[in-house]
Amino acid sequence: MGKKCRGIRANWTSEMMEEAIDLLKQGKSQRYVEKHCGIPRRTLRNHLKSGDTERKLGRKKLLTADQENELENRIIRLSEVRVPLTPKQLRRCVYNFTKANSIENKFNVQKEMAGKDWFQRFLKRHPALSKRKAQSMNPARAQKLNPVIVKDYFTKLGNIMDKLQVRHSPHRIYNLDEKGCRLTLHHSQLVLAQKGARRVHLVAHEHAENATIVACVNAVGHTIPPMILFKGQRLKPTFKDNLPDGAVVHMAPKGSMTSEIFVKWLEHFATYKAPGKVLLILDGASCHLDIDIVLKAEEFDITIFCLPSNTTHELQPLDKSVFRSFEHNWDQELLFYWDKYPDRRMTKDRFGLVFTPTWNKCMSIDNITNGFRSTGIYPYNPNAIAETAFAPSLPTHQENPYPDAPISDISSSSDEEDNLPLMRLKLKLQKSMEYESGSGTVPETSEASSSFPASILPSSSSKILPACSSKENTFHSIFPTPEGKLKKITSTPRRKAINYKAQTLCRDLFSDKNKENIPLSSKSSKKNVEKQPEVTESWMCSICHEDFEADMRRCTSCNLWAHEECIGYTAEDNEDFVCWDCAP
C-alpha cells in the first residue's frame, strides 16, 4: 500500500483561528465550528487551551522570534560596515550563543558549530538574507569614503562646473581612467567535465604580459579613441592592427602610464574633444601630477579636476559602470579567439582581435551615461552616493587623532568652514558608537546629528535588545561592530598630498611657495623639490677671526659675536657687551 495522503496541513490563518475560538466561547459545539471554519477539532482544543492563535508547524525552533530577529539585524549591520559573516562564522557563533544561554540543542560538540540543516532553515525563515560573493575592499578606501570628503568634493565640483559653465553642457564634461588588461584569462571559467572528476584544468598562461588601456568618455556617451600602452621600447606597425578607429599605441618601459606619455595623450585628446573649455575629471595617480601636464592642459583649454584619493570606486564613472564588465567580456572574447586560432597565442600583433569587440561592448552609450548619473556628475546631484556607502568609514573613525595639535592642523584646509563638518562628524560618530556599544537608546537629534547620514547610525529597522537575554549573552555582544586598526599618529600631523581632497590642478600647486604640498609619492615632484642646504653651527669670532667652540658674547648694537677670552669677559660678568666699533 502506498503512503496515505494527508492533504494540506494547517490550511487556516490566525484570523480564522480567532473567529473559531470566539464561536467556541459563545457556546457553539466543536463539530459546528470544525465544519464552519474548516479547522480540526483537536487543533481547536489545543489552541483553546493555550490561547495562542498563531499557526505553528514542525519542530519547535531553537531560537525565539526575538532572538532570530536580533541575529538578522546584526548580520545586516555587519554587512553594511563591510565585515560580513561567512556561514561557518555564523554557525560557530550561534553554537556559542546557545552554550552561553544554556539552550538545549543537538549541535556537533566536537566542531563547536551549528548544523548545516539549521543554517538552511534559518535562511528560509529570513528571506531578507542571502549568500553573496564578497569583494575585497582596501582599508584606505573604507576609511576615506566618508561624508566630509564627499561633501567637499561635490562642493568643489559644482564651483568649477559653474566657473567653466559646463553644468548644463554634458558634452564638455570628460572622465579619464586607465585599465590594466592581462593578455590571458582574468578569471576562472565554469567548464564541463565528468561528474566526480578531481582534476579539471584549463591550459592558460598564469603570468601573462600586461597592457594598459587609457579610456576617456564624456557625459553624453561620446568615446575618445583609446590609447594602448605596451611594455617595451620598439613599436611595430602591426601592433595597431584591428584596433578601433583613431586608437593610438605607445610603448612604455613598464607598460603603464607615465607623465611624459600623459602629455602625449593630452595632445591626442585635444584633437577629439569638444571645442572650447572642457572639464577633465581623473584620479590622483602620481603620473597625472606634473607641471608639464598642467601647462599642456592650459594650452588646449583643458581644466583638470582631481578626484579624492581612494574614492574612485564610488566617484569615477568609468570605474562605476564601464569597466565593471570589461574583464568578463575580455574572457569571453578570448575564449572565442582560442576556438578560432588553435595555437592559442595571444600576442601584441593580435591584441586588437580580442580588444576591439570587448571595447565595443563596454563603451555603450547606456553604460557611459549611467556611470555619470550614478556618480552624481551629470546631472549634478550631490546626494547621488548612497548613504550606506559611508558605513565602512564608521569603524575607523577617531575622536581626536591629534590631541596636542590645533584644529587647523588636523584638517587639510585652514578654512574654519572646512573644519566644521569634521567636528560635526566626530560628534555624530561618537553618538553612533555609544549606541553600538549596547546602550539601547537612539542618540538624540541635535544640530550635529540632524544632517548626518541615517545609514551610518543604526537603521530604523534595528530593534532594541530583547529582554529575553542579558546584555552579556546577546548577539550584539557576540557580533560587535569592529573597531578599525589605524596606524599610530604622532602629535605632528603628516603633510597631506595634493589629491588628499578633490583638487583642481593648476600651476600654483607646483610653484616654489607651494612645494610643501607636493605628494611624496610623485616621482616628478621629488625631482622638482630642491634640497635645502644643511645648517651647521658656527663659532666664528669677530675679533680673532677664528672658528672654535668657546663661550661667546654678542654685541648689543651690531649683533656680532666674539669669544669672551678675546674681549676680556668671564662667565661671572653680567655687563652687556658693546664692540669697539660701536662703543661711543
pLDDT single digits (tens) 106-128: 898 899 999 999 999 999 999 99
Looking at the chain, the number of H-run helices and the number of E-run strands are 20, 9
Q: Is 207 helix (H, G, I), strand (E, B) or coil?
A: coil
Does a cis peptide bond (omega within 30 degrees of 0) precede residue 533? no
Cβ atoms 210, 231 nearer than 8 A? yes
Of the two residues 535 and 59, the one the predictor is more confident about is: 59
Average pLDDT (401-423) is 39
pLDDT at 91 over 90: yes
Average pLDDT (131-140) is 85
Cell of 301: 583649454
pLDDT at 230 over 70: yes
pLDDT at 252 over 50: yes
Instruction: Please name the helix (run of DSSP H) or strand (run of DSSP E) that holds residue 37, with its range, or none.
Output: helix 30-37
Angle, CA of 498, 503 and 509, to the nearest 5° = 55
> Of the ranges 160-164, 343-347, 401-405, which one carries the lowest mean pLDDT score?
401-405
Residue from 561, 558, 555 nearest 538 by CA: 561
pLDDT single digits (tens) 478-535: 777 665 544 444 445 566 777 778 888 888 888 654 444 444 344 444 444 444 444 4
Quick one: pLDDT at residue 179?
A: 95
- Which residue's C-alpha cell is 540543542? 105
Cβ atoms 266, 292 nearer than 8 A? no
Residue from 522, 271, 481, 302 nearest 396 by CA: 481
Cβ atoms 274, 218 nearer than 8 A? yes
> Of the ranges 48-62, 153-167, 433-447, 475-489, which one carries the lowest mean pLDDT score?
433-447
Alpha helices, DSSP H, located in 253-347: 259-270, 291-299, 312-315, 317, 326-340
Band (415; pLDDT cuts 50, 70, 90): very low
How many Å apart are CA 284 and CA 305, to the nearest integer?
9
Quick one: pLDDT at residue 243?
A: 96
Q: How far apart are the first and last CA of the chain?
A: 135
> Of the ranges 67-81, 323-337, 343-357, 554-568, which one carries the lowest mean pLDDT score?
554-568
For 327, residues 6+ apart whose C-beta sits below 8 A from its C-beta are 186, 187
Quick one: pLDDT at residue 135?
A: 81
Quick one: pLDDT at residue 54?
A: 78
Q: Is the pTM of this model over 0.85?
A: no
Band (291; pLDDT cuts 50, 70, 90): very high
Average pLDDT (46-57) is 79
CA dihedral 112, 117, 122, 123 (to 10 degrees): 120
How many Å apart are CA 179 and CA 268, to the nearest integer?
18
Q: How far is CA 177 from the centre of its chain?
A: 17
pLDDT single digits (tens) 428-478: 445 444 444 444 443 333 333 333 333 333 333 333 333 333 445 777 777
Residue from 518, 486, 156 nearest 308 by CA: 156
Quick one: pLDDT at residue 489?
A: 46
Residue 562 class from Cβ within 10 Å (0-12 exposed, 13-18 middle, 19+ buried)? Answer: buried
Quick one: pLDDT at residue 397?
A: 57
pLDDT at 240 over 80: yes
Instruction: Please name the helix (run of DSSP H) or strand (run of DSSP E) that holds residue 173, with its range, or none.
Output: strand 173-182
Residue 91 class from Cβ within 10 Å (0-12 exposed, 13-18 middle, 19+ buried)? Answer: buried
Quick one: pLDDT at residue 2?
A: 45
Q: Is 389 helix (H, G, I), strand (E, B) or coil?
A: helix
